[in-house]
Structure 1
Amino acid sequence: MSDGILDEAYERLHRTGPEYQGWLSNHGPMAVEALARHGHQQRVHRWLDDYLGRLDELPRALHPIDDWRAALGDPKRAGDWLAYFDRQLRERPWREVLGTWWPRLLPGIAAGATHGVIRVGHAVRALGEDDLNSQRLTELGQALGYWAARWQPVPGADRLRDGAPTDTSDGPDTDAIDVDAAFAGLPRIDNQTGGVRDRLGQLPGVPRWEPALAALRPARSPAEAERGLTTLVHRAGLDYLRFGHAAPVMLVHAVTAPTAVLRTLPALDRRLWAPSLAAAWAATAAMTSVYAPADGIAPPAVTAATPAEVFARAARHGDEHVVKLADAVLDAHAATGDDRLLSAAGYAGQLI
C-alpha cells in the first residue's frame, strides 16, 4: 500500500467533518483506505476530487469533554469529541487509548448506522504497526470521536453484554456457536420505512426480537470469539445476495460492521474479544431485522472473477458502499475460501 498517497488523502479529508447534509456519514476515509489497501492508489485523489465537494467543514470544539458519560451520543458535541481524541492520541499510545475506549464505545455500536465502528476498523488497519504516523493517528482520533458523538445502543443488546464471559483461555469448545441458527431466528419489523433510527426504535416492540438476539450464545474464549466473528461476516456476506435487493446500501453495513470489529481484534486485549462478538452480532442482527425482507430471493448470477478483479470492478464503479463491501467480502473470502462471497460486491454494483 502506498503510504504517501493514503496519508495525503487523509490530510485532505481531515479538514472535513464526520457527517454532511445533517447526518449522512463521511465515507471518504474508509473508501480511500480500501482503495489504497488493494493497490488502486491511482484512483484515490481522483475519487476524492469528486467526493469532497459534498462534505461539510470540520466542526469546531466548543467545550472540553469533562463528563464523558453525559457527552456520549450527543452529536452537538462532535467537535468537542474530535478535539478530545486528538489530544488523547497525542499524549498516549494509540493502543492504550483504543483499549480504554473500545469497551466504552462498543455498547453504542449502532452509532451512525454502524459507521462509527466501521471507520475505526479502517483506521486501525491503516495504522497496523506504525505507532507514529501522524495522519493515521489523526484518522483514528476522528473515527473514535465520531463514534462517541453518535453513540447509540442496539435495543436489547445490554443483556448480551451482561452475560459475556471474561475467560481468556483457549481451551476446547464443547459446541460451536451456531451463527446460522441465530440468523434463521431473526424477526423483521412490520414497518420497513423511514430512516435507521426510526427503524431501530421499533425493535423493542417486536416480541421475538430479544429472544432472537440472545440466541447466539456468548463466546467462551477469545479463539471462539474470533471464529464466531469470521462466521458472522461470512453469513452476512451470503445474506446480502438473498436480501440486498431490498436495501442495497443499508444492508452493506450488516457485513462491514462485523468486519470492522474482526479487524480490530488484534489491537485489543483478548478479554474484549467475546464482548466484541456480542456487539457485532447485535449490529448485524439489527440491520438485518430492520432492512431485510422476511423471504430472500435466489442469489443472482454475477460474472465470475478473481478477488483482484472483484475489487477492480468495485473501484471502477466508484460508489463508496460498493468499494467497502468488496473490501469486506475479500477478507471473508480469504478466511473461508467460499467463492460465493465474491459475487456480493458485483451484485451491489448492479443494485447501487
Structure 2
Amino acid sequence: MTTSGHLEEALERLHASGPEREGRLTNHAPMVVESLAAHGRAGAVHRWVDRYRDRLEDFPGRVERVTEANWRAALGDPRRIADWTDHFSRTLADRAWRDVLAEWWPRLLPGLYGGATHTVIRVGHSVRALEAVENAPRVAEFAHALGYWAARHQPVTSLAVLPGGAPTAEEALNAVPPIEPGHVGFRDRLAALRGLPRWADGATGPDAARARLTELVRAATHRYATHGHGEPTMLVHAATAPNAVLRTLDSLPRELWAPSLRAAWSASAAVVALYGPVQAVTYEPPVRLSAPEVVERALAHGDEHVIKLTDTALDVGDDQALAAALRSVEMSQPLT
C-alpha cells in the first residue's frame, strides 16, 4: 500500500484545530480532505484547506481525564472533546483500531444524532482512510473522530414506530411525516420529532442488513435531486450519514450490522422529517458529466457539503446519484 502523504500532512495540520467552530458548527475539513484523497485528488487537499482555514478554531482545552471508571458520565458532554480525544489516543496506542471500533461502536451508535450526524460521518471517513492505508496520522484522525462522537453523543429515546410500513427505502423515505413547523436549529427540531415509519426492522441477518443499507444510501442520494431544495445543506446528511455507517460495516463484527442499519435508518429518516420540503420538484441536470468531471465540478465549487455528497454519489455510482451531486452544486453557496 502506498500513499502520497498529502492526506497525512493535511490531517496533521488539521488536528491542531477543534472539531467545531462557534460552539456548534462542525469542522468539515478532515472529512473533505479524506473524500478528495479517496477520489484521486490528494494533491488538492492543501489548497482546499487554505480556502477553508478561516473557519478553523483552536483545539479546545482539557477538563478531566476520561477513564474506564468515569467514561459514562463524560459521554455526551461537549466540554470534554479534548478529554475524549486523549482517551482514544491512549487506547489506540495499545490496541488495534478495529478492536477499539468494535468495542465503542455499539456504545456510540445510539447517539449518532450528535453534531447533526457529523460525528458518525467523520468516523466513517476515518475508517475508510484506515482500511486503505494504516499509519499514524490516520490512526490519530480515528481518535479525533471517535472523541468528537463521544463528546457530542446524543440519543433520542422517545421515537414511536409509526403504523404501517413501506417495502422499499424510497417509499419509506416518502412516508416520513414532517415535524410541525416553527422549530429552529437541529436540536430543537430533533426534540420535536415524535415517530418514524417502520422499515429497517425486517432485516435481522447481516447480509440483509447490508443490502438494505445500500438501498437506503442509494434512495437518499437520488432523493436529494428532487427534495434537496427543502434545505440544501442539511438534507445532504440524509444520504451521507447512512453511507458513513455502510462504509464502516466491513470493519465491524457482523453481529453489529443489523443494529447499524436500524440506527442509520433512524438518522436518515429523521433528517428528512426535520428538513424535507412539502413538494418534490422535477430535476434534470443541464449537462451529463462523468464521475471524474463531477468531482472536478464539486472541487471547483468548494462547499464542504457539496464535496461530501459528491463523495457519496460516487459510491452509489449511477446517473441519478451524479445528478444529485450536480443539484447540490447548483443550490449551495460556493466556498470563497
Normalised TM-score (structure 2): 0.93
The correspondence for 2:92, drawn from 89, 111, 120, is 89
Question: 2 CA distance for matches of 1:120 and 1:81?
Answer: 14
Question: 2 CA distance for matches of 1:85 and 1:321?
Answer: 27
* 1:232-251 residue CA offsets vs partner (Å, 9 max, x unmatched): 01110111011111200000
Question: 2 CA distance for matches of 1:193 and 1:241?
Answer: 24
1:148 and 2:150 correspond: yes
* 1:153-209 residue CA offsets vs partner (Å, 9 max, x unmatched): 24546989xxxxxxxxxxxxxxx96323322321001215411001001013xxxx2
Choose 298-307 or 233-242, whichever is displaced more: 298-307
Aligned-partner SS, 1:255? helix
Aligned-partner SS, 1:128? helix
1:242 and 2:199 correspond: no
After TM superposition, list the pairs within 5 Å mapping 1:276-287 onto structure 2.
276-287=260-271
Question: 1 CA distance for matches of 2:160 and 2:59?
Answer: 32
Aligned-partner SS, 2:248? helix
Segments of 5+ residues of structure 1 without an aligned counterpart are 161-175
Q: Counterpart in 2 of 1:163?
A: none
Q: Counterpart in 2 of 1:198?
A: 188
Aligned-partner SS, 1:85? helix
The correspondence for 1:222, drawn from 193, 200, 206, is 206
Q: Counterpart in 1 of 2:274?
A: 290
1:118 and 2:108 correspond: no
Is the CA contact 2:27–2:55 (under 8 Å) kept in the aligned structure 1?
no
1:184 and 2:174 correspond: yes
Displacement of 1:68 after TM fit? 1.6
Q: Counterpart in 2 of 1:346?
A: 326
Q: Counterpart in 2 of 1:7?
A: 8
Segments of 5+ residues of structure 2 without an aligned counterpart are none
Question: 2 CA distance for matches of 1:153 and 1:294?
Answer: 27
Choose 282-291 or 179-188, whichever is displaced more: 179-188
Paired residue type of 1:55: L
Choose 190-199 or 251-260, whichever is displaced more: 190-199
The correspondence for 2:235, drawn from 229, 251, 255, is 251
Paired residue type of 1:42: G
Question: 2 CA distance for matches of 1:18 and 1:233?
Answer: 25
After TM superposition, list the pairs within 5 Å mapping 1:39-118 onto structure 2.
39-66=40-67, 67-118=70-121
1:327 and 2:311 correspond: yes
Question: 2 CA distance for matches of 1:217 and 1:158?
Answer: 13
The RMSD of aligned alpha carbons is: 1.8
Does the C-alpha gap of structure 1 residues 246 and 45 become closer, same or farther in structure 2, counting only changes over 3 Å?
same
After TM superposition, list the pairs within 5 Å mapping 1:28-39 onto structure 2.
28-39=29-40
Paired residue type of 2:26: S
Aligned-partner SS, 1:203? coil
Does the C-alpha gap of structure 1 residues 191 and 38 become closer, same or farther in structure 2, counting only changes over 3 Å?
same
Question: 2 CA distance for matches of 1:301 and 1:118?
Answer: 27
* 1:315-350 residue CA offsets vs partner (Å, 9 max, x unmatched): 1111111100000011011xxxx3111111111011
Instruction: State how many pairs are aligned.
Output: 326
Is the CA contact 1:85–1:144 (under 8 Å) kept in the aligned structure 2?
yes
Question: 1 CA distance for matches of 2:8 and 2:200?
Answer: 39
Displacement of 1:300 after TM fit? 3.9
Normalised TM-score (structure 1): 0.88
Displacement of 1:220 after TM fit? 2.0
Q: Counterpart in 2 of 1:167?
A: none
After TM superposition, list the pairs within 5 Å mapping 1:250-269 onto structure 2.
250-269=234-253
* 1:68-104 residue CA offsets vs partner (Å, 9 max, x unmatched): 2221111011111111111111111100000000000
Is the CA contact 2:229–2:277 (under 8 Å) kept in the aligned structure 1?
no
Paired residue type of 1:195: G
Paired residue type of 1:100: E
Is the CA contact 1:61–1:82 (under 8 Å) kept in the aligned structure 2?
no
Aligned-partner SS, 2:17? coil
Q: Percent identity?
A: 49
